[in-house]
Chain A
Amino acid sequence: MTYIINRLLSVILTLFLITLVTFAVTNILPGDVAMMIMGTQSNPEALSGLRQSLGLNDPLLVQYGHWVGGMVSGNWGNSLIFKKPILELLSQKAVASAIIVIMSMMIALALAIPLGVWAAVHRDRWQDTVSSSSALLGVSLPDFFWGIVMILVFARWLGWFPSSGFVEPSVNFWGTLQHAFLPSLALGLGLMAHLTRMTRSTMTGILSQEFIRVARAKGLAERTVVWRYALANAIGPVITIAGLQIGYLFGSIIVMESLFGYTGMGWLTYQALLNRDLPLIQDTVFVIAAVVMLTNLAVDLLYIVIDPRIRLG
């Protein structure tokens, strides 16, 4: 119980630090938000009036206070380019991103775990060489390159999947999945390569431990030793590593969603950055960091469920 309370307090502290970092990064911005809204030709008086009303003349600390205070009270401000409340935009786009993040993670794990185990079991033999080489190739290609290849092959040549766009799941769930599949696959392949390497090295470590030798000395079949005894120990670390990749995924969706015209959080963030929509930049950056942090927390808690050493210790 104290553990959970401590974790919660720690979450609040980290969220606070995330707001600080976000604000610090976005407010070294040399550009003029007011001029962006009104255009360079607008008259100076109107500009200064707008600055006043946006609070841009206030000291940074006051601006920061307004921003955080607003978020706490549910007023996240308006986007300058979309002319809409940011909270509304974010809640719309979050679902789309959640779909491809989950989908790509599932694709990656489903492929990486068997492949990594296979490589570790046949360590130093040709199977390992094949698996390690392809994983190495996988981590070496930029994922947007995968995306382009997917578009070329599956959308243009074969025509199996749409090459861009997004459909609301409430409108056509099957269509949503079709639109999400290619970007998820492109993301998942890059991620898979990384997770395969990690699974291999985790399994290699576990397979050299004493309890594996003890299991073999008991006469258990090699199949049981690898897929029950060893994998049960590897699953925790692999999930932790996969969890840490959530951060990487949230970076990659910015590229991938833009490439596929898939209108999720990544796409929204990109529009904000491209158009220097300061309020939207601040909020999306904050939300992504917060989501990454909370996912990592969730993975930690999941680990407690998986690993008895932490569960009871």
Chain B
Amino acid sequence: MKRFKTTKGLIGIVLLLAILLVAILGPMLIPADASTAMDMHARRSPPTWVHPFGTDQLGRDMMFRVILGARTSLEIAVSAVVMSVVLGLPLGLISGYFGGFIDNVLMRLVDTLLAFPALLLALTISAVLGPNIQNTIIAIGVAFTPYLARIIRGEALRVAQMPYVEAARSSGTTDIMIMIRHVLPNILPAVIVQGTISLAFAILAEAGLSFLGLGTQPPAASWGLMIQASRDQLDIAPWTALVPGLAVALTVLGLNMFGDVLRDILDPRAK
């Protein structure tokens, strides 16, 4: 099992590094118009030497579009998760550490928000603000905040009851310093693990939003959009769905594997 875990962690890290590399370097290496250039002689071309991943209904090269899509997906997912951590961390930390009235009010609000399915909330916010990349980030970021706040609050509550926090308090450490020195470092592992797993969910959410036309808008390249476009040509050009689908799957798989291993390493309770 140890071997399985190490292998899992390695695969996860390799997958993530590869995707990061593609997302960061890829767009610089490919010709500027390559992803939008339409090869009218090769519309819906299956994978060939010229188009290794085939082409779509407009004759655009799938490989270039998947590479550009990687960038869009990661940009949106990372920004959205950073946003939800930035919002959720202080909420959860204050709620869990101080408890009492503040906690009651904040958690009642968070519980209410949790009744709204994250995807529904994100879709609604995106529809209301008007779909574009920036609003997709806001939509996903807001929709994920209650989940993070809940988890961080639980962790903060657990840590706040530890004897070392009581020891710090009894030796005259102020609340602010206790939160910075003792609570924050001890909940950070859980936040990192949760952040990684949230990244996976955010990739899926972005794909879902774009698939429904309420996320990234054409002509920008997005995996969700590509799957959406493939729907009408499934039987004649199945690769148009499989290529972006596989891209999503590998990215999310890499994040989940990495997150699982991180949890094993960082979460003391899982040991």
A and B: direct contact (Cβ < 8 Å)?
yes
When the two chains form their complex, are residues B227 and A148 in contact, meaning their CB atoms are under 8 A apart?
yes
With A26-B124, A136-B257, A288-B120: A141-B249 Cβ-Cβ less than 8 Å: yes
Nearest CB on A from B224, distance (A): 8
B235 contacts A152, CB within 8 Å? yes
Q: A18 contacts the other chain (Cβ, under 8 Å)? A: yes
| A-side contacts of B234, CB under 8 Å | 148, 151-152, 156
- Least distance between B59 CB and chain A CB atoms (Å): 22
A249-283 vs B: 1/0 string, CB under 8 Å? Answer: 11110110011000000000110011010000100
Which residues of B, 100-130, contact A by the 8 Å Cβ criterion? 108-109, 111-121, 123-125, 127-130
Q: How far is the CA of A279 from the CA of B194 in the complex (A)?
A: 36
Which residue on chain B has the smallest CB distance to residue A148?
B241
Closest to A126 in B: B4
* Chain B hits for A270, CB < 8 A: 123, 212
* B-contacting 9-mer, from A92-100, A180-188, A234-242, A289-297: A289-297
A272's nearest neighbour on chain B, judged by CB, is B127
A129 to B117, CA, bound (A): 31
Q: B111 contacts which of A14, A140, A141 (Cβ < 8 Å)?
A: A14
Q: Which B residues lie within 8 Å of A76 (CB)?
A: none
Produce 1/0 per residue, B118-162, CB < 8 A to A.
Answer: 111101110111100000000000000000000000000000000
Contact A254 B124 (CB under 8 A): no
What residues of chain A have their CB less than 8 Å away from a CB belonging to chain B? 13-14, 17-18, 20-21, 25-26, 28-31, 123-125, 128-129, 136-137, 139-142, 144-145, 148, 151-152, 156-157, 247-252, 254-255, 258-259, 269-270, 273-274, 276, 281, 285, 288-290, 292-293, 296
| CB-defined A-B contacts under 8 Å, sample of 16 | A14-B115, A18-B112, A25-B124, A28-B129, A136-B257, A140-B256, A142-B249, A145-B241, A148-B234, A148-B245, A152-B235, A250-B117, A269-B120, A269-B123, A285-B124, A289-B116
Q: How far is the CA of A273 from the CA of B264 in the complex (A)?
A: 41
Instruction: Kindly list chain A residues whose C-beta atoms are within 8 Å of the C-beta of B1.
Output: 123-125, 128-129
State whether the Cβ of B221 lies closer than 8 Å to any Cβ in chain A.
Answer: no
B26 at the interface (CB under 8 A from A): no
Residues of B within 8 A of A (CB): 1, 4, 108-109, 111-121, 123-125, 127-130, 200, 204, 207-208, 211-214, 224, 227, 230-231, 234-235, 238, 241, 245, 248-249, 252-253, 256-257, 260
- How far is the CB of B98 from the nearest CB of chain A, in Å? 22
Complex contact A141–B245 (CB within 8 A): yes
Output the nearest chain A residue to B142 by Cβ-Cβ distance: A25
How many Å lie between the Cα of A124 and that of B3 in the bound state?
10
A125-B1, A142-B249, A144-B227 known; 12 other A-B pairs, CB under 8 Å? A14-B111, A21-B113, A136-B253, A139-B252, A139-B256, A148-B234, A251-B120, A254-B120, A255-B208, A273-B214, A288-B116, A292-B116
Tell me the total A-B contact number using a CB cutoff of 8 A: 142
Chain A residues with CB below 8 A from B117, complex form: 247-252, 288, 292
Contact, CB under 8 Å: A274 / B128? no
Cα–Cα distance between A152 and B239 once the two chains are bound (Å): 12
**Chain A interface mostly helix, strand, loop or mixed?**
helix
Given contact pairs A145-B227, A254-B123, A290 touches B115 in the complex (Cβ within 8 A): yes
Give which listed residue, B108, B208, B238, B256, contacts A142 with CB less than 8 A. Answer: B208
Residues A136 and B115 in contact, CB atoms below 8 Å apart: no
Whether the pair B127, A251 counts as a contact (CB closer than 8 A) is: no
In the complex, A24→B127 CA distance in Å?
14
Partner pick for B128 among A21, A28, A128, A148, CB 8 A cutoff:
A28
With both chains docked as a complex, state the minimum distance between the C-beta of A60 and any C-beta of chain B, in angstroms: 14
- Are B119 and A254 in contact, with the CB atoms below 8 A? yes
Q: Nearest A residue to B244 by beta-carbon distance?
A: A145
A17 and B108 contacting across the interface, CB-CB below 8 Å: yes
Would you call A247 and B227 a contact (CB within 8 A)?
Answer: no
Candidates A25, A123, A152, A251; contact of B119 at CB < 8 Å: A251
Distance in Å: Cβ of B109 to nearest Cβ of chain A: 7
Asked whether B256 lies within 8 Å of A136 as measured between CB atoms, the reply is yes
A250 to B124, CA, bound (A): 14
Q: How far is the CB of B111 from chain A (nearest CB, A)?
A: 7
What separation, in Å, do the CA atoms of A183 and B125 have in the docked complex?
25
Cβ–Cβ < 8 Å partners of A28 in chain B? 128-129
B112–A137 contact, CB under 8 A? no
A299 to chain B, nearest CB (A): 13
Name which residue of chain B comes closest to A295, CB basis: B115
Q: Which residue of B lies closest to A255 (CB)?
A: B208
Q: Is the CB of B128 within 8 A of A18?
A: no
Q: How far is the CB of A35 from chain B (nearest CB, A)?
A: 14
Of chain B, the residue at the smallest CB distance from A293 is: B115
